[in-house]
Chains A and B, each alone.
Chain A
């Protein structure tokens, strides 16, 4: 989340990407850094024990949503 903030601060459009287990962590850190909402994509947990093929499949499935978050700059980027 700090990386997201650093990139946005440099004018680079970014999206937060993690697995579903990290929804509340992302929310806590985003709020602590002054964001009401951060464009985020959460892929299904788990990650660590996936085979390479499974991880690629997860990435392929998430790609469209990631691109949408990056391209659609009107998507919530609320800053408190």
Chain B
């Protein structure tokens, strides 16, 4: 853009009544020889201006960061010395140094939106100005192809339709983070492919995320692609679990997540699409596809995506993330291996010991009622059950200790052959009871609607080394 070092620059469009109003003012200022006018729509508008430039491509408007027309800018020594937005006789007079401007005009008149902000134009400009930062391979979809069908045909979906990741959508998604598109977030199994911020953004678009969800997705990808979480093993096992995400901290409310009624179900965009984005990253970046390296015998519907938030405000427990070392007030994700949830009803117990025993009975069925210590699990305590613990003064540690105690299983009941079932633990020399879960193998989360004495057990997968351990990562570093 060739601008004068000293003088005035105005940006206008014919479509704006205020711009038409100031047309004679601009013509008058032009006679001083120090005015350049850029016009956004009609190259012949305004009349009577000597140095009139066609800015229908909007390059000058972008360079000048114009949001409203008319805008009048003064330059001095090549540097902006002041600007006025809309028409104001006093302000125009002060900026131009010309007295008695706009005789017969009103004192003030607001301007109109710059064409750079028109929705259709803004998208084109985004791609034109920042599209060069994208490195992903571009796919051309012919005019005869249906966009959604084309994405199914190319194998980018989990079986449900996806949002086409156009450059404009990916660029808008990338506005959700300050991180550079080419920064590597994680190495994604099973193919050990590098997932850049851009690749995660592409899959977040596919999944239907909004840009403000992206830091949560990035943190989830980071957490899932750790050795401890072992997403490769979780994918390749014939067991049906997949990655689930529980979100803690202020980001839950900022992006409108659901931790109340139907928290584990459908109907909330953030819950539904964040979990889906993680799974699409594993599929499209890592190459983890069902019936290829994903060897699940059955799988479960939550493998499309499984993400929810913890109800911290109504909880008798400290937030899960805090219990795992994240400072209070910070946002975090915890990823864990998850089957589908299974309800545990108890509508009678008003003593915490009785209720904890009920929940322990529900947990006992994880993997198999006669197997111990192999598999992890997550217990989602509903508000009506949490109330019983809150009234008794039980915190997370107290409930955990009670569950540990009630989940010491009598070896005679679970030995192979006991109860007429050949499955079970091998016969041993000791009569010592066996703990159902390994230390750290049971997560406790608080979520759900205010009515219903129904908590949920979410079975996991093989826990610990060789299997998968829950992993917590902060969200804020990805903003």
Contact = CB atoms under 8 A, between A and B. Distances in A.
B291 A33 contact: no
A28 B287 CA distance: 9
Interface in B243-301: 287, 289, 291-293, 295
A28 B289 CA distance: 9
Contacts of A29: 190-191, 292-293
Interface in A1-28: 2, 21-22, 24-25, 28
A2 B227 CA distance: 14
Given A25-B236, A32-B287, A2 B192 contact: yes
Contacts of A33: 191
A33 B190 CA distance: 9
A32 B236 CA distance: 14
Contacts of B190: 2, 29, 32
Nearest to B422: A49
Interface string B223-237: 000000000100010
A80 B154 CA distance: 22
In this complex, the interface size class of chain B, counting residues with CB under 8 Å from chain A, is 10 to 19
In which size bucket is the chain A interface? under 10
Interface in B282-332: 287, 289, 291-293, 295
A2 B192 CA distance: 9
Contacts of B287: 28, 32
A21 B236 CA distance: 12
Contact of B191 (A22, A24, A32): A32
Interface string B94-105: 000000000000
B192 A25 contact: no
Contact of B292 (A2, A21, A28): A28
A28 B293 CA distance: 7
A24 B192 contact: no
A55 B236 CA distance: 22
Contacts of B291: 24
Interface string B187-198: 000111000000
A25 B293 CA distance: 5
A9 to B, nearest CB: 13
B225 to A, nearest CB: 14
Q: Give the interface centre of A2, A24, A25, A32 by most chain B CB atoms within 10 Å.
A: A32
Interface of A: 2, 21-22, 24-25, 28-29, 32-33
Interface of B: 190-192, 232, 236, 287, 289, 291-293, 295
8 contacts: A2-B190, A2-B192, A22-B295, A25-B293, A28-B293, A29-B190, A32-B287, A33-B191
Given A24-B291, A28-B287, 14 more contacts: A2-B232, A22-B295, A24-B292, A25-B236, A25-B292, A25-B293, A25-B295, A28-B289, A28-B292, A28-B293, A32-B190, A32-B191, A32-B287, A33-B191
